[in-house]
Structure 1
Amino acid sequence: MVKTVVGEETQLQLAELRLSQSGIFAQVGLVIGKLSSILDKGFVFDLIPTPPNDAGEPPCSLVDSFKDVDKKKGSKAKSSADSSSLVIDEGWVTEHARQVSRMLVGGIRVIGIYVWIGESTFKNSTITLCQTVKGVAEAAPLSASDWDERLLVHICYSPRRWTCRNCSLASNITPSHLRPCDFKMGKVLGTLQSFRCMYNFDMRLPIYQENMSSIRTLNDILQNEISIHAKELKGAKGLVDGNLVIEDEPCTSDGQHKVELLLPFMKDACLEASSQKEIVGVLVFAGSVCSYAYLNSKQPISEALADIKEDIIMSLRSRLDIICDEADRQTGVTADGVTEENNEMPTLETVHQLILEPLRKQATLQLPRRIFIPWLAGTFICDYLQPSETFEVLKDHFVELLSMEPPADASTILEPETGTPSLSIQSFWAVAAPLYPASVPESLANSPPERRPCITHFHAIFHWQRI
């Protein structure tokens, strides 16, 4: 459980100045930072206000909680400052958290919410605040084995002071789930150490003839495979600057550290390798993922490795979420399975349709590429661009989601991923004999299923390849 929270004084003082000069009496936003189970500490890097919703309305407002006053008993009406409570558009705040979490790198997460309200209003709104914290936690999970707590930072304007509470994510929320933390400000960002990893992957998934009529959606298949890969990646050994990482070993050197992940060859081979199912196609999910992670100087290097691994998986999931969101907006798929808007760029729906066909066609879908933008004190945050998008679209993302302007100098934006993750669907023979196409007769490749040889032990030949 987090007992002590340290906030970056430079950023928090700027946030307090902004709030005090705004003239508003209520604001809600996200707390960006890091939680360490080993140190039992939380580190707050910055506060990001939740923007107005699509209708231009603020995400929170004050209402009078004591409109009915018992005049017969001579009770006096309370002042609006004492009787007000906070109303929060929880759905909008959680959506903001979901989108911001995509833009954060290893070890930096949405770790709670903050509110700018008076002391009495805070006391009248504890249940609402706890429910919002829980919604943010569900929209922006920290890891696969998620923490059961988040932070609630209260900036009180009357009297002016900062307090922080640990909010338990219990199913039945009560005010007792808020526990005070020791909160202080100091130099946090300047002590962070940087870790960088370029991770290459190549997942080859079989498409079985008997499953083609009842195949799940392509997104479900890929999300399941990423979950399987995450379990294997969790057990991978790590090299930092060429040295094998030992558990609880501290990092004593400065500068950016190079991380390499080592996965056992052919570990946990798929049990379906021994089945007698006929393979009619191959779904290839491959590419490279660049990951950054940041570590407090008192944390062991093993935490940086764990952050890198989680960041790789979260990055793959974020890209799939983005193209699924884009697929929902795409219209006008032609009879050839290619969108009318771009005859060379298939969508996720296009690739899914080709799986249901006799697999005589091939298609490749490029996933969004990950770029890195300078943030605070030498750290980076990220964003994702579709193949047809340029840096110009970043401006709206950063202004709306992070309340910051993107860098004016485009040369400071990093694009380290040389092999952007892609998804392709191929016939079995295109993968089995790529260098010897003449060795596969066209009559055999296009023959009915009952006349083709039954190909088994697929994973023994085409298991995942990792570099």
Structure 2
Amino acid sequence: MVKTVTGEESHLTSIEHRLNQSHLSSQVGLVIGNLSSNSDRVFVFDLVPTPVNDAGKPASWVVESKEDKKKGGSKSKSQSQSNAGAVLEIDREWVAEHARQVSRMLVGGMKVVGIYIWVNENLFKNSTLVLCQTVKGVADAAPIRDIVWDERLLIHISYSPRRWTCKNCSLSSNITSSSLRPCDFKMGRVLSTLQKFKCVYNFDIRFPISRDSVSKTFAGIVRDIISSHGEELKKAKALIDGKLVNVDEQYTSDCVHEVEFLIPFTQQTSLQAYSEDEVVGILVFSGSICSYAYSNSKEPISQALADIKGDIISSLHSRLDVVCDEADGQMDSVADGSGEAVNEVSTPIPVPQLQLQSFRERCCLSFPRRVFVPWLADTYICDYIQPSETLEVLKDHCVELMSMEAPTDTKTILEPEGESVTLSTNSYWETLTPLSTELKTSSLNNHSDDKGSVSERHLEKSSNVSITAALLVLILSILVGVMLFVFRT
């Protein structure tokens, strides 16, 4: 259970000032922060408002009571703020979708740890159920894979009276008013105390495809491989700045620490024993990933390493999600344009949606590359660029999803993975030759080779005799020459 929540004072204060100037009756958004290793403290970096939906409507709005509607504009703002009959409405699905997309843009040590709501005190008290349901939807859409945490935060910024409060919201299936429990909230320095870690991780996974898994889609197989590799990565030893370190210690330097992981070949769970009849193909999954992670200076190094490992696996999942989303969009656009269901004959199904049993030839699926954008206090967030996209897409995502100014100078955007270094999967299906046939073929080749080897041995013997005779003749000629020279003298 989280006991203390510390927010970045300089940034959150400016957010509160902006909300006061906006004169909005309500606003809902995401809480971006970091959870401590023992899950009792959360450090809040930013509050990101959920943008308007596709129809141009806000994610939250206030439904006034009938009495308030009758009075109309004659009621003052202070009276409307204290109205106990108003109801808060939230587009929970849209907030959850916002959380899903924002979670892709966060690097190691940064998580969607909850939501915030900007309403008056009365509305907050009357909207406990809808707020808890929104928190639950955000947690399902943006899960924290590497930490077991059955709660999320609900930060209330009240403008009548003006104050900040924070509560833990339980993620149990039965959501009631008792699902909210208070926790301490305070302002302080958070971003300036972060330790920065960077890792360039190269991997090459060769995963055998069994007959039991041919009914799965291509994306499903790759997702299983990512999860399996994540378990291997958890056991990997790490070098920080080229040295082995005590993971229980803390770092307090301002430089970016380089991390390198060492995975023994003997611990690869993908290298399993399969019989000849079980394996129908091999999937090759390789690439190079750049990862960043930010950890509080009070946390041990082990937490930073766990954040880096979690970021690597999350990045693989996010890239696969981007590819699948694009494939779904293509299918939807074709279906909308034709007005008929899409079938395999008229329109080819994208590779991520194909079942492995539907194709037998080699295929290649290129994944998007990762780029990094400056965020708050020398930190970075990321985004994924498809080969056909430009950095203009990145600017749109920053403005719409993160509610930040688009980077004007492209030189500040980091592209460590480069154009040529992309994440790709190569799936090839080659029916394995039966072992008996291979043995027969090899034995026939050996038999034919044995026939030829007899003549080869005769040639070798004759050549050896010729060389020996030549050496003897040479030696005798030298001796005869020496003797003749001596006698003449």
What TM-score results when the alignment is normalised by the length of structure 1? 0.82
Whether the 8 Å CA contact 2:206–2:285 is kept in 1: the answer is yes
> Secondary structure of 1:244's match?
coil
Partner of 2:337: none
Is the 8 Å Cα contact of residues 202 and 284 (structure 1) preserved in structure 2?
A: yes
Select the structure that is richer in helix.
2
Aligned to 1:86: 88
Q: 1:158 to 1:358 in 2, by over 3 A?
A: closer
- The amino acid of 1:348's aligned partner reads V
Give, as a single letter, the amino acid of the residue that structure 1 aligns with 2:62. L
Instruction: Tell me, yes or no, if the aligned pair for 2:3 and 2:40 is still in contact at 8 Å.
Output: yes
**Paired residue type of 2:379:** T
* Distance in 2 between residues matched to 1:381 and 1:223, nearest whole Å: 23
Q: SS at the partner of 1:286? A: strand
Cα shift readout 1:123-159 (whole Å, capped 9, x = no counterpart): 1011111111111111111224431111111111011
Q: Which amino acid aligns with 1:195?
A: F
- Residue matched to 1:318: 318
| Residue pair 1:371, 1:382 contacting (<8 A) in 2 also | yes
- Look up the equivalent residue of 2:2 and give its one-letter code: V
| Residue aligned with 2:267, SS | coil
Identify the match of residue 194 of structure 1 among 193, 196, 219.
Answer: 196
What does 1:6-405 correspond to in 2, within 5 Å?
A: 6-38=6-38, 40-64=40-64, 81-207=83-209, 214-270=214-270, 272-277=272-277, 279=279, 281-330=281-330, 347-349=350-352, 352=354, 356-359=358-361, 362-405=362-405
- Is contact 1:196–1:259 with CA below 8 Å preserved after alignment? yes
Change (3 A) 1:425 1:274: closer
Q: Which AA in structure 2 matches 1:316?
A: L
Structure 1 SS opposite 2:286: strand
The structure with the larger Rg is: 2
> Relative to 1, partners in 2 of residues 1:271 and 1:255: Cα closer, same or farther, differing over 3 Å?
closer
- Letter in structure 2 aligned against 1:5: V
Matched residue SS, 1:370: strand
Distance 1:62 1:290, change over 3 A: same
Alpha-carbon separation, structure 2, partners of 1:102 and 1:18: 26
In structure 2, C-alpha distance between the alignment counterparts of 1:353 and 1:134, rounded to whole Å: 32
CA distance in structure 2 between the aligned counterparts of 1:202 and 1:268, rounded to whole angstroms: 11
| Change in 2 beyond 3 A, CA 1:196/1:337 | farther
Which deviates more, 311-320 or 273-282? 273-282
Q: What letter is aligned with 2:140?
A: E
Q: Distance between the aligned counterparts of 1:269 and 1:118, measured in 2?
A: 53
- Render the CA deviation track for 1:71-104: whole Å, top value 9, x for unaligned: xxxxxxx966222221111100000000000000
SS of corresponding position for 1:273: coil
Shift in alpha-carbon separation, 1:354–1:64, aligned structure 2, 3 A: closer
Distance 1:39 1:173 in 2: 22
Q: Could you tell me the percent identity over the aligned residues?
A: 59
After the TM superposition, which of the residue ranges 114-123 and 9-18 deviates more from structure 2?
Answer: 9-18
8 Å CA contact retained: 2:64, 2:87: yes
Question: Residue 193 of structure 1 aligns to a residue in which SS?
Answer: strand
Number of residue pairs the alignment of both structures matches: 417
Q: Is the Cα contact below 8 Å between 2:133 and 2:175 reproduced in 1? A: yes
Q: State the distance in 2 between where 1:211 and 1:166 align.
A: 43
Distance change (3 Å), C-alpha of 1:353 and 1:198: same
Query: Which stretch of the first structure deviates more once superposed, 59-68 or 389-398?
Result: 59-68
After superposition, give the CA deviation of every residue in 1:290-349 in whole Å (9 maximum; x if it has no partner): 11000111110100000111111111001111111111223589999997xxxxxx9525
The structure-2 alpha-carbon separation of the partners of 1:268 and 1:87, relative to structure 1 and needing over 3 Å to count, comes to same
Instruction: Give unmatched runs, 5+ long, in structure 1.
Output: 69-77, 340-345, 430-444, 455-467
Q: Give the alignment's Cα RMSD to 1 decimal.
A: 2.9
Q: 2:351 corresponds to which letter in structure 1?
A: L
Range with greater deviation from structure 2 (45-54 or 240-249): 240-249
Secondary structure of 1:243 counterpart? coil
Q: How far apart are residue 366 of structure 1 and its match? A: 1.2
Cα gap change, 1:261 to 1:97, in 2 (>3 Å)? same
Q: 1:335 to 1:91 in 2, by over 3 A?
A: closer
Whole-angstrom CA distance in 2 between matches of 1:26 and 1:190: 31
Could you tell me how far apart the structure 2 residues matched to 1:232 and 1:266 are?
10
Question: Contact 2:198–2:292 at 8 Å: present in 1 too?
Answer: yes
Tell me how far apart the structure 1 counterparts of residues 44 and 108 of structure 2 sit (CA, whole Å).
15
SS state of the match for residue 273, structure 2? helix
CA distance 1:242–1:144, shift in 2 (3 Å): same
Q: Using the alignment, how far apart are the partners of 2:409 and 2:165 within structure 1?
A: 38
Residue aligning to 2:71? none
Specify whether residues 316 and 269 from structure 1 end up closer, same or farther in structure 2 by C-alpha distance, changes over 3 A only: closer
1-side partners of 2:185 and 2:221: how far apart? Answer: 44
Deviation at 1:23, TM superposition (A): 1.3
What amino acid is aligned across from residue 90 of structure 1 in structure 2? R
CA contact (8 A) 1:338 1:347 kept: no
Does the Cα contact within 8 Å between 1:366 and 1:423 map onto a contact in 2?
Answer: yes
Q: What is the distance in 2 between the residues matched to 1:273 and 1:336? A: 38
* Alignment-derived partner of residue 426 in structure 1: 428
Structure 1 residues 84, 334: closer, same or farther in 2, change over 3 A?
closer
Q: Secondary structure at the residue paired with 1:146? A: coil
Where structure 2 has 5 or more consecutive residues not aligned to the other structure, the ranges are 69-78, 335-341, 440-489
Contact 2:219/2:352 (<8 A) preserved: no
| The 10-residue stretch of structure 1 (319-328 or 93-102) with the greater mean CA deviation from structure 2 | 319-328
Q: 1:13 to 1:271 in 2, by over 3 A?
A: closer
Distance 1:378-1:65 versus aligned 2 partners, 3 A rule: same
In 2, Cα distance between equivalents of 1:356 and 1:450: 26
Report the CA distance between 1:278 and its aligned residue. 6.5
Scaled by the length of structure 2, the TM-score of the pair is: 0.79
